[in-house]
Amino acid sequence: MPKHQCICYKKAQKTHALIFLVYSQQNFIDMNAYSIFKYLHSGFRYVVLILILVAIIQALVGYTGKKPYTEGNRKINLFAMISAHTQLLIGFILYFLSPYVKDFSKATMQDTEARYWTVEHWSMMLFAIALITFGHIRSKKATLPEAKHRAILLFYVLAVVVIVAAIVQSHRPFFGISA
Ligand code: HEM
């Protein structure tokens, strides 16, 4: 092979290697962003569920026992709402990274799994988060401790029912993180 051809060939090889490196690194970055947010979102469900359950238990105890509405009660209810809003934010980012989310085509709507991740999951969860937010506002506005506890009890229970129904409907394990 003449010398100038040999140099050109080597240059082309180097360029290909560089393109391959950039491309594979891009894939690596994309894949990592997806798995990071997926693990974060999947694991954070426990924080959300535990805080909501604690809020429900203390509202039940407060309401049935006619107990005062303490600063501790208020904080737990607030943290439960904040955790739900955080989960909404993580879920929103994940929505644009997940390969399970498809376009809004007819084919997607006919496919149970694609429809669930594209439309149903976020709408159900958003509804649950709206219930939590509404319950928290109602409890804040109420003056009597009994009414404050009742608002949390009612709306947080409704929210947890919707969240559990949505997770069950996903056919993913309720406990544990899917690969
Ligand atoms: C209280 C709120 C929420 C809870 C408890 C929740 C819970 C979950 C759970 C348990 C999974 C399955 C994870 C796994 O398979 O390991 C999941 C997946 C997912 N969630 Fe949520 N979610 C919530 C809100 C949202 C919202 C508001 C959005 C979108 C705006 C969203 C988007 C997604 C997406 C796209 C996936 C699929 C991930 C994948 O497998 O590619 N989530 N969520």
21: in domain: no
Mean pLDDT, rounded, for 128-149? 98
Range of the domain at 52: 35-169
- Domain assignment present for 11: no
Output the residue whose Cα is nearest ligand 1's atom 13: 42
- Top mutation candidate among 30, 36, 41, 175 for ligand 1, by most atoms within 8 Å of CB: 41
**Count of other CB atoms within 10 angstroms of residue 121:** 21
Q: What is the pLDDT of residues 96-108, one digit of tens each?
A: 999 999 999 999 9
What number of helices (H) and strands (E) belong to the chain? 6, 0
Atom of ligand 1 nearest to the CA of 44: 5
Number of domains in the chain: 1
Average pLDDT of the residues in 26-52: 87
Whether 109 is covered by a domain: the verdict is: yes
In a domain, residue 26? The reply is no
**How far from 146 is each of 51, 53, 56, 85, 137, CA to CA, in Å?**
20, 19, 14, 26, 15
Write out pLDDT tens, residues 20-38.
545 555 555 555 899 999 9
pLDDT for the residue numbered 174: 83
CA distance 105 to 115: 10
Residue 146 lies in a domain: yes
